[in-house]
A and B are shown apart, each in its own frame.
Chain A
Amino acid sequence: MINKEIIMMGLVIFIAACAPAWSRQASAAIAPSGSGDVSPESFLTRDPQRLALLRHQDAIRSGRERPGCINLPAVQCIASLGMTMFTDLTFTRSQGQSLLGDDPVAPGARIRPKTIIYVNASVNDKPYLDIFGVTLTTDDSEYRYVDSISIDLRDLAILLEHVKSPDEIRIFRLYRIFYPILTTACPNLSENYLNDFIYNKIIKNYTNYGYFQKICGVNVKYEEKKFIITEDY
């Protein structure tokens, strides 16, 4: 009898201590459920937007589809960002909405599409550490083609604005944020090239501060702690 208790106790300690550590090892993953401890598969099993997201993730991982964001479906953009970042869609579906944030409607009623999709993202491989606020602005079609992306650096902005050389940008890992977005047009984009661009054309460009600069087929500008990326054609 005593032995059984002890074994159960050991089991409980084992689960409590080890289970979270295991699940957090998934780096650069999508967590539509919001918590690193809950598997996304247990939520939204029949949501067509989630199924589309899985299809895009699968296609991008297997190399059948190029990553990208601008003028592409929002789920493809989220899947692309998930290649290099930990992305979290909790905010869009905090009250029973679909993956991209559409409110639930009565059967037969018209869906009111949400055209602004809020994503929390981190390059630190752990949720809830140095989180960027990524906002996708889309059209209201079925596929939610992305018009622009805003990346809010939040607390890191003040540090980034005071760097003294392009090399110091490396610690912010901005390459991992921009890689999925810019790699559509520039497959060979290097980290040094991107850091030079951000340093010289964006942050230290006092004559054209807050104006759009062109790189890899998109327009990028920095204002109020945010990188704003729009189409350029």
Chain B
Amino acid sequence: MQYRMAVVGLSLALAGCGSPPPPPPFTFPPPPRADAVVSIAPPRQAPTGLQLRDAQTAYGEPEEIKPQDAQLLEVRRHQGLIQSGQETMACMNVPAARCLASLATIARVRMFPRPEQTLFGDTPPDLTGRPGLAASIELDVLTNGSSTHKGPAKGTNYGVSLIVDEGTERNVQSIRITMVDAQVMLFGARTEEEFDRYQIYDLFRLIFARTCPGLDRKKLYEFLYLDVFDSYNVGASASRPTANHVPGGFCGYAVYKEVEVRKIKLNRQERYWAEKHWRPLSEISEYIVVKQLGNK
């Protein structure tokens, strides 16, 4: 018995398990070398082009998800014309395909038509034979951050709705822009740099492309700051002349901010709780709307 204990004790002592060595103290890694790169992966760039959402909510190439779609072919034809310089980029009062092609040239445009719909969201004819033409085309536009910034940048997400007519060309009648990323920040922007931060010029350059070909960046910011965004605070500022702006629209279009306030439905207990804890009782969404003058 003693012999057994001795062997076990000896094996434990040999292994040195009574006190495992402590971990080495933490030291900061040496600084990177002088010729170190920021990343061995390619730098971040905001992509451009058109993407569609499939049934599994993953985004992919439009041709994979909607092959042989006539409206997609029309968009591709306009993209080819724009790239070869035979057509200028434009968005208002032009066919929706041309506006989409223009947006996809400068930004990443994502669309999410359902499987039974066409690219623009038209559904097959109903039982009376009337076609289900979409009144508006919903887009998710990620602007190219490198248009205003040198380094890697994320870009800004805007929700853009193209309100179209029912003609064969589907001309764009008006445009509604929702700020997905930048709601409060852009409406509160005060300096040129703050407006640059969200690449809003990229969108308005296309919208005003036909009436104001060489749109001045600073003039656009002044107009948005003084007239469009200010209307929420000052009331009817569209009729209020300012130092830099004469009322009556911009580049031939009416541009204004639209504020939608919806009451949140609450029962008695929920309302009591929401008031007690200063929770919002209504939802507010704000849009920038671009329309033709005198078209209201």
Decide: A84 and B28 in contact? CB cutoff 8 A. yes
- Cβ of B149 within 8 Å of any chain A Cβ, yes or no, is yes
Q: In this complex, what residue of A is CB-closest to B16?
A: A18
- Which residues of chain A are within 8 angstroms of B152 by Cβ–Cβ distance? 71-72, 145
Q: Which of B28, B38, B44, B151 has the most CB of A within 10 A?
A: B44
Binds B, one of A40-48, A59-67, A91-99: A59-67
Binds A, one of B17-25, B95-103, B236-244: B17-25
- Cβ of B47 within 8 Å of any chain A Cβ, yes or no, is yes
Distance A10 CA – B86 CA, assembled complex (angstroms): 85
- Cβ of A11 within 8 Å of any chain B Cβ, yes or no, is yes
Q: Give the Cβ gap from B190 to chain A, nearest Cβ, in Å.
A: 16
- Which residues of chain A are within 8 angstroms of B40 by Cβ–Cβ distance? 55-56, 59, 64-65, 76
Q: Which of A9, A11, A55, A110 contacts B56 (CB 8 A)?
A: A110
Decide: A6 and B8 in contact? CB cutoff 8 A. yes
Decide: A67 and B32 in contact? CB cutoff 8 A. yes
- Cβ of B76 within 8 Å of any chain A Cβ, yes or no, is no
Q: Which of A52, A61, A143, A184 contacts B38 (CB 8 A)?
A: A184
- Which residues of chain A are within 8 angstroms of B39 by Cβ–Cβ distance? 65-66, 68, 72-73, 76
- Which residues of chain B are within 8 angstroms of A207 by Cβ–Cβ distance? none
- Cβ of A24 within 8 Å of any chain B Cβ, yes or no, is yes
The total number of A-B Cβ pairs within 8 Å is: 128
Q: Does more than half of chain A's interface fall in helix, strand or loop, or is it mixed?
A: mixed
- Binary interface encoding of chain A residues 117-128 relative to chain B, with 1 for a CB under 8 A from any of its CBs, else 0: 000000001000
- Binary interface encoding of chain B residues 40-67 relative to chain A, with 1 for a CB under 8 A from any of its CBs, else 0: 1110100100000010111110000000
Q: Does more than half of chain B's interface fall in helix, strand or loop, or is it mixed?
A: loop
- Which residues of chain A are within 8 angstroms of B8 by Cβ–Cβ distance? 6, 9-10, 13
Chain B positions near chain A (C-beta within 8 angstroms): 4, 7-8, 11-12, 15-17, 20-21, 23-24, 26, 28-33, 36-42, 44, 47, 54, 56-60, 145, 149, 151-154, 197
**What are 25 of the A-B contact pairs (CB < 8 Å)?**
A6-B8, A10-B15, A13-B15, A14-B17, A17-B15, A17-B17, A17-B20, A22-B20, A63-B30, A63-B33, A64-B33, A64-B36, A64-B37, A64-B40, A65-B38, A65-B39, A66-B37, A71-B153, A72-B152, A73-B41, A76-B41, A110-B54, A110-B60, A139-B154, A233-B145
Contacts A67-B32, A143-B41 known; list 6 others, CB within 8 Å. A6-B11, A63-B32, A64-B32, A83-B28, A143-B42, A233-B145
